[in-house]
Amino acid sequence: MSSYPQETFYQTSFSPSSFWAKRRSIVRKNTLHTQLEILKSTGRYEAFRLKWHPAYDDGYKALFWDSDVAKWLEGACYFLAEEKDEKEDKVIDEAVKELTEMIAGAQWKDGYLNIHFTIVKPGLRFTNIRDLHELYNAGHLIEAALIHQQHYKNDLLIDPMLKYVELIHSIFGPGPDQIHGYPGHPEIELALLRLYARTGNMNSYELAKYFITERGNPHGLQGQHFYLGEAKQRNEKWGERPAGDAWPTANAFWYQQAHKPILEQESIEGHSVRAMYLLTAVADLVRIARTVKPNSGHFEAYKTACEKLWDNMVNKKMYLTGGIGSIAQWEGFGIDYFLPQGKEEGGCYAETCASIGIMMMAERMLQLDLDGKYADIMELALYNTVLGGMSQNGKEFLYENHLASCAERPSKREHWFDCACCPPNITRTFGMLGGYLWSSNVKGKDVAINVHLYNSATLSLDVDGTPVTLQQETDWPWKSSVSFTLDTTPSLNVTIRLRIPSWVQASENGSFFDLNPLPTTTIKPVKSYITLLPEYTSTHRGSPITLTFDATSFAPRFLRQHPSTNQNTLTIARGPLIYCAEDVDNDWVQDYFKSVAISANSKPKESILHDKILGDDILTVTIPGIKFGEGKYRAVMKGGFPGFQVEEVTNIQQENLSVVFIPYFYRGNRDGRGHMRVGFKSL
Amino acid sequence: MSSYPQETFYQTSFSPSSFWAKRRSIVRKNTLHTQLEILKSTGRYEAFRLKWHPAYDDGYKALFWDSDVAKWLEGACYFLAEEKDEKEDKVIDEAVKELTEMIAGAQWKDGYLNIHFTIVKPGLRFTNIRDLHELYNAGHLIEAALIHQQHYKNDLLIDPMLKYVELIHSIFGPGPDQIHGYPGHPEIELALLRLYARTGNMNSYELAKYFITERGNPHGLQGQHFYLGEAKQRNEKWGERPAGDAWPTANAFWYQQAHKPILEQESIEGHSVRAMYLLTAVADLVRIARTVKPNSGHFEAYKTACEKLWDNMVNKKMYLTGGIGSIAQWEGFGIDYFLPQGKEEGGCYAETCASIGIMMMAERMLQLDLDGKYADIMELALYNTVLGGMSQNGKEFLYENHLASCAERPSKREHWFDCACCPPNITRTFGMLGGYLWSSNVKGKDVAINVHLYNSATLSLDVDGTPVTLQQETDWPWKSSVSFTLDTTPSLNVTIRLRIPSWVQASENGSFFDLNPLPTTTIKPVKSYITLLPEYTSTHRGSPITLTFDATSFAPRFLRQHPSTNQNTLTIARGPLIYCAEDVDNDWVQDYFKSVAISANSKPKESILHDKILGDDILTVTIPGIKFGEGKYRAVMKGGFPGFQVEEVTNIQQENLSVVFIPYFYRGNRDGRGHMRVGFKSL
């Protein structure tokens, strides 16, 4: 059983009033429709009809329109597969069908399928694998085709994609007449592995394996790095850089995670979305390779590589919001501990898609190693940078997720972006969200369910005709306790593993959780999961088992950053949520909260803010702050060099200022002036 | 009277045992000779003989050898003009003469003079003004020729340079057949203005004016930016970047301060040495233009531009060591307040030449506006990043002046650099140092002397045959008081202005200085200079006038950085000196002092470290520090997201650790392991 969220999502039904059900409903009701309209109005929808569009005039703008359409189509299918609102769904369903027809109709006889290289630059196919997103587009089309087949139970989209894969497989590979290359923007690798898992198509598997193992080979093309040789074949000068300014220096192959073979990479580098898509595939290759017959080679060293790069990322290159990528120029990773909060401080990108990529990689790592350290970060990204990438009404988005806004980068949402990766990426992620909540394994009569995320929902499995349902009831992320009810027959042995988040606080008696009814044996978390064995679950079939974390875990707490970040700041968190302040609740703010300091000793006060759009009660946190005037920051001549020495804190403009914090995901939902900050100077 | 340090330096004689005399002696005794040997062994010395050298094989390495030789020659002349040690001097004197002959002999019939474009790439002269340092070399040769003429009282070097200037003047300018360009690396502008001041040659003046006013013109060459048009003429692709990786993005003309006209530049950007050389010339143009007849246009707006860019630099883009340039890639300025201490923290370059450039610009600004804010920074750069650029023995150098070393960039000195700008730049700066100490103005019988820097030395002026000497006696930078003795005839009215440094502390009675004998009128600083009027100076002719600052000014004090730098650090300063710690005095250090914190409330203890090389007593400062172990920095799972929340300070490895600090300039003079830090975490 492949257990991809993209395939298992339908086993989950969300309780209608739950936190995520509300958000998924708005995506179905609003996002799918407004994005369809934008796909149409921008020319993307009709693009597969292969007519000229004015946007093509610049020669580059439509380079990855294929992927924009594919991600929407993928997202649409998840919702169609699951939701029942015939009137709403009809429009979406018809669009998916029309798109499928157009996509299939755009395929060349030999299998090739790509808008840009068919209509804008015919004749140049596969001449710039490094920069031009050709295989990236193919990957997203494959992903769309996989859910299309699953939902429609026909092969109208997957057949063209299998044909395209055959073409790609014939062109790329180690053979003397083949291209020894691999995509500059990984994506097809993870899609090919899923295609193999679905169809058993060995060419898909071999192609993914080739792309992953060949990547970064210093001698791939006639003794030199493939990207150097490919550039030479295009008659580029040595050191010539791609269009756009993503490469700060010549031959910056680390931008594409191709500076050395993956197994030799010691730190996570370059474009963060590319890194996450690549490592998602690498982790999946490790898992799949174990099962492929005949044995196709040992890939366990790639698991170590994934772990090393994951740890480097999480411990040294990730914002406490779950954002990654501190450098805007290459939309990616900086050096260790370089995590400025915003442009004015020297960086911060934290693309929404990159945090979606974190979820993808974390989910695959959990398949290799059930360790809460992956689920913790998956949850962190989901509740903060991924959820925050979309507005409450599902119609506006954020591409970058800064931790502090400034005049040049106010905190404001947009309806769409020229480079439109993020909005439909959120759509498809929310579409398959049920698949992220839990994963399951069945071996004969033994059923194991691993619960990663808490939300009121029901998982329904069919074990050789025997139904198993596990229902969870909770007010997560606002409140602590979660009740589980298992329903199945005594013939099955059901093991349930529940995640104990790393941020949970110990109660006064020192325990991190409370289980009711009390088990007869001591339950200790292993890698942050507790195991409810069949003896226990069978005793309590049909009646609730309640997991409760201490109430302090769902009270505001203060986070500091690693000292090496040079961020002497405090951030408020509560449960899985990171908080920020914005001007809507703090109308006095004029300087993006730069001059406001808070203390970790202050007593936070909670309030409720009722959001009308989703009928949500948003918990806000108020704490006192101090606002410093000029004096705090004024450089003084006396006693120091001008411009450097700073006066003691004497010029307090306002004490006991009330600073109201809201969840980070909720920012930019009410008309404001764009002032927002996560980390406040620490008193 | 032009009053350039390069011309007035000879009026100053340093008292032999003074701080700067010792250092200037070592330059004459060691530096001039070792650098001459290196010029010879690397091929630079013979380069003007125009024979092929293996270093030319790569096509680029000798691009600015002309300037390396010229700066050494310039420095040699300052010392020859002043020092009397015939045996030592003979070698230098002969080398200067031979070089002069070789340089003159390398000139083309039409006046052209450049090693690279004569021997390595003939035929390409003036085709890449932007990148290839052609006019930069010319500028340094002109500077060498100016002091050569002054010292040798012949025109053997200045004549060829005047001929070269005629050629450049005929080629560059607004005419239809002229090149509408300006040098990518400014330098010739300031040299041309000095050449005009010396010779009255209007073509020199007009050429400097053209280079300055044309710079950054968006429509200079056929309606487009000159650098774009020039690149097109070289058949470069649009957006193609120069060799090397200095440009992070395409068409990054801000690297050369040419992104817009100088008058429109709001912040200081790009390569920091280029910026300083350019603005030195701009400030000088403002001053010179006031005197040129017929009136050549108004340039007062350029004064405002210089002030704006200076203030932006000093207040927001300068390290408290006097270093500028936080970004290694373009050897220059980052965004406001982005001042990481070292590579490991995300940047720091602070090139020695850039701090020499600060002194140059500051000195010119003082000519326009006698404001201590310029002299403060001139002094800061001189005592810390400039002096620190050379070892005590005058044989080893630092190119970059980081504030914290790390494994990748240990604090270690080198004998020379492939890109050899810094070592001979220090040589010439120390050669003319007397010209930086004070400046003077004579109008008829009125003589004004402005004292900018304190050191035991004597200024000797000749006012129409009447001698004026002003002697200062002090233990600066170690001790506070300075005694002045004026000697002249009663026929002259002598005004003396003395600088009150901004870092001077008030004494208990609130005054910042003490003057003895007491003047009858109250003396208040205007722009940080106090004025001793002729009534006062004439009364005390021949007897000492003593200026004393409160002793607390010469006790260790703690500096903080601007909060917007995110540097929660403390730095020790004392008088004009910035302090640092290195492993030689703190043998326990293993982590570049990263885990050591100090408190501003601790009581510093002073000691004497006797340096044998110069017979110097170096004042060291010892304060207690605390070293934290893993716990201080360990990211914890409990209560925070992994990798982010940090435990409270519980794991103190060592309390009351003695941390010994030495002056920053003194670092890297004793064999050490390369651990060094200026800013310590603040407790």
Measured between beta carbons, which residues in chain B are less than 8 angstroms from residue A646? Answer: 560-563
Q: State yes or no: pLDDT of A516 exceeds 60.
A: yes
Whether residues B563 and A335 touch (CB distance < 8 A) is answered with no
Choose between B504 and A67: higher pLDDT.
Answer: A67
Mean pLDDT of B29-46: 96
Q: Return phi, psi of residue B628, to 5°.
A: -95, 145
Closest-CA distance of chain B to residue A423, Å:
27
Residues 291-330 of B with CB under 8 A from A: 314-316, 318, 320, 329
Digit-coded pLDDT (tens) for A563-597: 788 888 899 999 999 999 999 999 999 999 998 99
Stretch B443-463: mean pLDDT: 97
When mean pLDDT is compared across A335-349, A379-393, A514-528, B444-458, the lowest value belongs to: A514-528
Q: Work out the minimum CA distance from A645 to partner chain B, whole angstroms.
A: 5
Q: Which of residues 477-536 of A touch B (CB under 8 A)?
A: 502-503, 505-506
List the single residue in A with minimal CA-CA distance to B377.
A641
Question: Does the distance separating the beta carbons of B594 and A564 come in below 8 Å?
Answer: yes
CA nearest to B579, candidates B555, B599, B563, B562: B555
Q: What's the token pair of residue A91?
A: 């429009």
Residue B229 domain-assigned?
no
Phi, psi of A493 (to 5 degrees): -100, 105
pLDDT of res. B641: 43
Give the nearest chain A residue to B245 (CA atoms).
A249
| Average pLDDT of the segment spanning A20-43 | 96
**Angle B124-B130-B131 (CA atoms, 0-180°, nearest 5)?**
75
> How many Å lie between the alpha carbon of B643 and the closest alpha carbon of chain A?
4
Q: Does A600 touch chain B (CB under 8 A)?
A: no
Percent of chain A past pLDDT 70, that is, above it, reads 96
Q: How distant, in Å, are the alpha carbons of A674, B71, B143 from that of B93?
A: 67, 15, 17
Q: Which residues of chain B neighbour A568 with C-beta distances below 8 Å?
A: 566, 568
Query: Which of A382, A645, A649 is the mutation pick for testing B, counting most B CBs within 10 A?
Result: A645
Q: Which of B553, B575, B603 is the last residue of a domain?
A: B553
Place of tokens 């339908």: A10
What integer best gives the mean pLDDT of chain B?
93
Question: Which pLDDT tens digit goes with each residue over A287-320?
Answer: 999 999 777 778 999 999 999 999 999 989 999 9
Res A629: pLDDT: 67
What part of A 544-563 touches B (C-beta under 8 Å)?
557, 559-563
Cβ neighbours of B632 in A, within 8 Å: 563
Verify that B501 and B560 share a domain, yes or no. no
| DSSP designation for A445 | T
Would you put residue A225 in left (φ > 0), alpha (ψ -120 to 50) or beta? beta
Nearest to B245 among A249, A344, A506 (CB): A249
User: Is residue B432 in a domain?
Assistant: no
Closest CA of chain B from A504, distance in Å:
6
Cβ–Cβ below 8 Å for B345 and A566: yes
The mean pLDDT of A235-246, rounded to a whole number, is 90
Q: Are B210 and B160 in contact (CB under 8 A)?
A: no
Average pLDDT over residues B266-293: 96
Question: Looking at residue A508, what is its pLDDT?
Answer: 77
Are both B536 and B580 inside the same structural domain?
no
For residue B382, give both structure tokens: 């001189």
| CB proximity B629 to A under 8 Å | no
Q: Are the beta carbons of A315 and B373 separated by less than 8 Å? A: no
Reference B383, options B191, B550, B619; nearest CA is B619
- Sheet holding B493-499: strands in order across? B438-443, B446-451, B493-499, B529-532
The residue in chain A having the minimum alpha-carbon distance to the alpha carbon of residue B241 is A240
Give just the sign of the alpha carbon dihedral A14, A15, A21, A26.
Answer: positive
Say yes or no to pLDDT of A542 above 90: yes
DSSP secondary structure string for all residues of B83-145: ---HHHHHHHHHHHHHHHHHHHHT--TTS---SIIIIISTT-TTS-TTTS-HHHHHHHHHHHH
- Looking at residue A203, its pLDDT comes to 97
Please compute the mean of the pLDDT values over residues B621-649 and round it to a whole number. 57
Mean pLDDT of chain A: 93
Residue B408 in any domain: the answer is yes
Q: Which of A500, A527, A553 is the endpoint of a domain?
A: A553
Q: Which of A314, A319, A338, A641 has the highest number of chain B CBs within 10 A, making it the mutation to test binding with B?
A: A641
Looking at residue A85, what is its pLDDT? Answer: 66
How far is residue B58 CA from its own chain's centroid? 31
- Same domain? For B577 and B548 the reply is no
Alpha-carbon distance of A430 to A421, in angstroms, equals 15
Which are the contacts of B180, defined by CB distance < 8 A and separation ≥ 6?
B172, B173, B174, B214, B217, B220, B221, B226
- Residues ≥6 apart with Cβ < 8 Å to A24: A14, A79, A430, A431, A433
The pLDDT of residue B649 is above 70: no
Indicate whether A636 pLDDT > 60. Answer: no
- pLDDT recorded at residue B601: 87
Phi-psi region of A620 (alpha: psi -120 to 50; beta: other; left: phi over 0): beta
Q: Is B567 on the interface with A (CB under 8 A)?
A: yes
- B320 and B359 belong to one structural domain: yes
Among candidates B248, B336, B561 on the partner chain, residue whose Cβ is nearest the Cβ of A248: B248
Query: Which of A561, A563, A633 lies closest to B563 in CB terms?
Result: A633
Q: Using an 8 Å CB-CB cutoff, list chain B residues near A373.
A: 642
Q: Do B240 and A245 touch (CB under 8 A)?
A: no
Query: pLDDT band at residue B553, thresholds of 50, 70 and 90?
Result: confident
- A407-440 burial, b at 16+ Cβ within 10 Å, e below that, comes to eebbbebeebeeebbbbbbbbbbbbbbbbbbbbb
Give residue A83's pLDDT. Answer: 65
Is residue B72 predicted with pLDDT exceeding 80?
Answer: yes
A483 - beta bridge partners?
A473, A546
Domain that holds residue B263: 257-412
Q: Tens digits of per-residue pLDDT, B84-132?
A: 767 778 999 999 999 999 999 999 999 999 999 999 999 999 999 999 9
Give the domain CATH number at A462.
2.60.420
Predicted-assembly ipTM surpassing the 0.90 threshold: no
Check residue B20 and give its pLDDT. Answer: 98
- Is the model's pLDDT at A511 over the cut of 90? no
Q: What is the rounded average pLDDT of the residues A162-175?
A: 98
Find out whether A397 and A411 touch, Cβ atoms under 8 Å.
Answer: no
> What are B471-487's pLDDT values in tens digits?
999 999 999 899 999 99
Structure tokens at B605: 């203890």
Fill in the DSSP letter of residue A551. G
Cβ pair B646:A560 closer than 8 A: yes
Residue B643 clears pLDDT 70, i.e. is over it: no
Instruction: Encode pLDDT of A78-100 as tens digits.
Output: 999 986 767 778 999 999 999 99
CA distance A560 to chain B (A): 5
Cα separation, A385 vs A319, whole angstroms: 10
The reply to whether B604 and B529 lie within a common domain is no
Chain B CB contacts of A640 under 8 Å are 502-503, 557, 559, 573
Q: Above pLDDT 90, what percent of chain A?
A: 83
The number of domains in chain B is: 4
Q: State the sign of the Cα–Cα–Cα–Cα dihedral A312, A316, A319, A325.
A: negative
Could A644 and B502 be called an inter-chain contact, meaning their C-beta atoms sit closer than 8 Å? no
Q: Does A606 lie in the same domain as A632?
A: yes
Under 8 Å CB pairs connecting chains A and B tally to 151
Q: Residue A642 pLDDT more than 80?
A: no
Q: Looking at residues B358-380, what average pLDDT do you find?
A: 96
> What pLDDT sits at residue A485?
98
Q: What is the mean pLDDT of residues B250-265?
A: 97
**Which residue type, as a one-letter code, is found at position A416?**
W
Q: How buried is B177 (Cβ within 10 angstroms: 0-12 exposed, 13-18 middle, 19+ buried)?
A: exposed
Judged by CB atoms closer than 8 Å, whether chains meet at B566 and A562 is answered as: no
The separation between the first and the last C-alpha atoms of chain B, rounded to the nearest angstrom, is 53
DSSP structural state of residue A456: S
A342 and A453 belong to one structural domain: no
Q: What is the pLDDT of residue B383?
A: 98
Same domain, A470 and A527: yes
Q: Is the pLDDT of residue B189 over 50?
A: yes
Is the N-terminal amide bond of A517 cis, ω within 30° of 0? Answer: yes
Residues of B in contact with A329 (CB under 8 A): 248-249
Say how far apart CA B241 and CA B12 lie, in whole Å. Answer: 47
CB contact under 8 A, A633 and B566: no
d(CA B279, CA B273): 10
Closest CB to A346: pick one of B334, B380, B642: B334
| Higher per-residue pLDDT: A282 or B294 | A282
Query: Where is the domain boundary, B215, B246, B272?
Result: B215
Closest CA of chain A from B185, distance in Å: 20
Which positions in chain B touch A332 (Cβ < 8 Å)? Answer: none
The shortest CB-CB distance from A641 to any of B320, B337, B633 is to B320
Q: What is the pLDDT of residue A637?
A: 39
Q: Are A397 and A422 in contact (CB under 8 A)?
A: yes
Q: Classify burial at B65, counting beta carbons within 10 Å of its beta carbon; exposed 0-12, middle 13-18, buried 19 or more.
A: buried
Specify if B170 maps to a domain.
yes
pLDDT of residue B522: 84
Report which secondary-structure segment, H or E, holds A362.
helix A352-368
Residue of B nearest to A510 (CA): B638
CA distances from B295 to B298, B303, B325 (A): 8, 17, 37
Residues B173 and B36 in one domain: yes
Cβ-based neighbours of A570, under 8 Å, separated by 6 or more: A558, A559, A560, A598, A599, A600, A679, A680, A681, A682
A542 shares a domain with A668: no
239-298 in A: which are within 8 Å (CB) of B? 239-241, 243, 245, 248-250
Q: What is the mean pLDDT of residues A349-367?
A: 98
pLDDT of residue B110: 97
CB contact under 8 A, B248 and A314: no
Confidence (pLDDT) at B638: 41
Residue of B nearest to A553 (CA): B639
Cross-chain Cβ contact A562/B643 below 8 Å: yes
Does the CB of A331 have a partner CB in chain B at under 8 Å?
no
Q: Is residue B434 part of a domain?
A: no
CB atoms A329 and B566 under 8 Å:
no
Could you tell me the two tokens for B145? 């020729």
CA distance B269 to chain A (A): 15
Residue B232 lies in a domain: no
Q: Say which residue, A60 or A282, is predicted with more confidence.
A: A282
Residue, of B641 and A368, whose pLDDT is higher: A368
Q: Which of A315, A640, A643 sits opposite B318 (nearest CB)?
A: A643
Q: Are B166 and B111 in contact (CB under 8 A)?
A: yes
In a domain? residue B226 = no
Q: Is B597 left (phi over 0), alpha (psi -120 to 50) or beta?
A: beta
Which residues of chain A does B567 touch, with a Cβ-Cβ cutoff of 8 Å? 566
Strand partners, B560: B570
Residues B489, B508 share a domain: yes
**What is the rounded CA–CA span in Å between residue A681 and residue A595?**
8
Whether pLDDT at B338 is above 70:
yes
Name the minimum distance, in Å, from the CA of B482 to any CA of chain A. 19
Based on the fold, state whether residues B190 and B287 are members of the same structural domain: no
User: Looking at CA atoms only, how far is residue A647 from chain B in angstroms?
Assistant: 9
pLDDT value, residue A640: 40
> Over the Cα atoms of chain B, what is R_g?
26
Question: Is B43 within the bounds of a domain?
Answer: yes
What is the mean pLDDT of the segment spanning A328-343?
Answer: 96
* B332: nearest Cα among B272, B278, B381, B275: B272
Half-sphere exposure of B619 (CA within 13 A, CB side): 21
What pLDDT was estimated at residue B1? Answer: 46
- Please list every residue in chain A whose beta carbon sits closer than 8 Å to the beta carbon of residue B248: 245, 248-249, 329
Summarised one tens digit per residue, pLDDT across range A649-662 is 456 778 889 999 99
Please spell the DSSP secondary structure of B33-97, one letter per residue. Answer: HHHHHHHHHTTTTTGGG----GGGGGSSTTTTHHHHHHHHHHHHHHHHTT---HHHHHHHHHHHH
CA proximity to A131, closest of A95, A210, A78, A185:
A185
Q: How does pLDDT run across B427-442, given as a tens digit for each residue?
A: 999 999 999 999 999 9
Question: Is residue A2 scored above 70 in pLDDT?
Answer: no
Q: Is the dihedral of CA B372, B376, B382, B385 positive or negative?
A: negative
Alpha carbons A430 and A435: distance in angstroms, whole number: 10
Alpha-carbon gap, residue A549 to A532, rounded angstroms: 16
pLDDT digits (tens, 9 = 90+) for A34-75: 999 999 999 999 999 999 999 999 888 899 999 999 999 999
